[in-house]
Amino acid sequence: MDQQPADRRTPEQAQEIIARLSAMPGFALAHGVETVAAEPGAVTLAVRSRPDLRYLNNYFHGGAIAGLAEQAAILCATSVLPEGRIAATVELKLNNQRIATGSRLFALARAVSTSPAMVVVEVRIEAESPAGRGPCGVVMAVLRAVPFVA
């Protein structure tokens, strides 16, 4: 990544801001998003399948997929920004590889380029079913740093 190590949050600071943002009212809290893993520059989130996240034939709705991916990208990007800054989405591009169906949906986010002002994050989307866990999409997100106002 491009950012200087001194500018990055420590692992403890990254986990604290991720937990703090995840507990705030909004998409993650309303949809039962759980943090599976978190460290500076890498976040994995998951959500269990439920009626309000599904579409035809019990597939995960594209909005649920994009929402989970955006949440993962925001938390991932924020984890590498300096204290007092959080990430806001500038652009998000979702490419579906296959239908997302199963009991759980995962978003595995990784910062691929960082600066004090912008972060680019790749998010892999995976679905878990009785047959196992497999890829179903890839997201590229560009986020910019904004002041954090709690």
**Beta sheet of 104-114, edge-to-edge order:** 34-39, 42-48, 104-114, 118-129, 132-147, 85-96
The whole-model pTM stands at 0.91
Residues 23-36 have pLDDT tens digits of 888 888 888 999 99
Where are the chain's structural domains?
5-147
Residues 79-129 have pLDDT tens digits of 999 889 999 999 999 999 999 999 999 999 999 999 989 999 999 999 998
The fold of the 5-147 domain, in CATH, is Thiol Ester Dehydrase; Chain A (3.10.129)
Q: Which two tokens stand for residue 136?
A: 């179903």
